[in-house]
Amino acid sequence: MKAAPFAYVRPATLDDAVAELVRSAGEGKVLAGGQSLVPILAMRLARPSTVVDIGALSELDFVRREGNELVVGALVRQRTLEGHPLAAEVPLLLLALPWIGHRELRSRGTVCGSIAHADPAAELPAVACCLGASLEIAGPAGRRTVAAAEFFHGAMATSVGAEDVLAAVRFPVAGSGEGFGFAEIARRHGDFALAGVATRFRAGDGEAVLTAFGVSDRPVTRDVTGLGDDEVADLARGLVDTAGDTHGSREYRQRLVAALAVRELARARRAAEGGSA
């Protein structure tokens, strides 16, 4: 199919991009990497009056460390971050990025674009929730920062309004004694996950965090500190609130996420305690 007609603008600054979205009166869409938006346009699932291409906003093309955070601008490609030397400071990112689609898709898709799209089966929203990342949003009233736990409202629904641009994401860098795990199950590598988990464990106080994705309308995060394997498995099964579909029943997803949760928490614990992940 072909996209419905729309106006195309390519502003030179972030302020201009926000102004274009305001002018479109809630009918505009932001284009960055295009890996999520373009298929939606082609299928006419979205019919924006204006597509605001932020590809010329060099001010959003950066990866840098600020204090204890790795800050990733809206134009940074997933593949760029995958090979960036600073990415090693957020090990969970390096575990998760190779699971996103295929290399060709990651070469165009942006980190912020995936988070803003908020597909329930996507990897980067789960990483953001597991780490407690924060999101910088630019809008008509200025900039604001939203915690990942409050950012995702449901499938393809976030705190980014119709006149906003997700300008950057702030990932906490790994602290001493922290370990991570990440895995998903899909019909084929690169397909949407039937179920997946991201995990974080901290040696010393034993803090443990589990985020499940692909099993609800948004990533679901739980503190699993002190829980045994059976308790973690039971908790993980309870996070599945999607119905079955042609790719797998609800019960199948419950088995998947329970097994992944136990395995990836063990992996995170081993890494935190200095063993092989």
Amino acid at 181: G
pLDDT at 275: 60
Torsional class of 224: left (φ above 0), alpha (ψ -120 to 50), beta (otherwise): alpha
- Evaluate the CA torsion angle 263, 265, 271, 274 in order and state its sign: negative
Q: Are strands 50-53 and 28-31 parallel, antiparallel or unpaired?
A: parallel
Burial class (CB in 10 A: 0-12, 13-18, 19+), 27: middle
Q: How far apart are CA 277 and CA 266, in angstroms?
A: 9
Mean pLDDT by 10 residues, the chain (277 residues): 90 96 93 88 89 95 97 97 97 96 92 95 97 98 97 96 97 96 90 92 96 96 97 97 81 96 98 77
pLDDT at 3: 87
CA 17 from chain centre, in angstroms, equals 23
Q: How far apart are CA 248 and CA 79, in angstroms?
A: 30
Amino acid at 244: G
pLDDT at 242: 83
pLDDT at 190: 76
- Distant-in-sequence contacts of 22-27, Cβ < 8 A, 24+ apart: 22/140, 22/163, 23/50, 24/48, 24/49, 24/50, 24/52, 25/49, 26/162, 26/163, 27/162
pLDDT at 276: 53
Residue reference for tokens 């329930």: 120
Q: Residue 36's CB: how many other CB atoms inside 10 A?
A: 19
How many Å is the maximal CA-CA distance in the chain?
A: 58
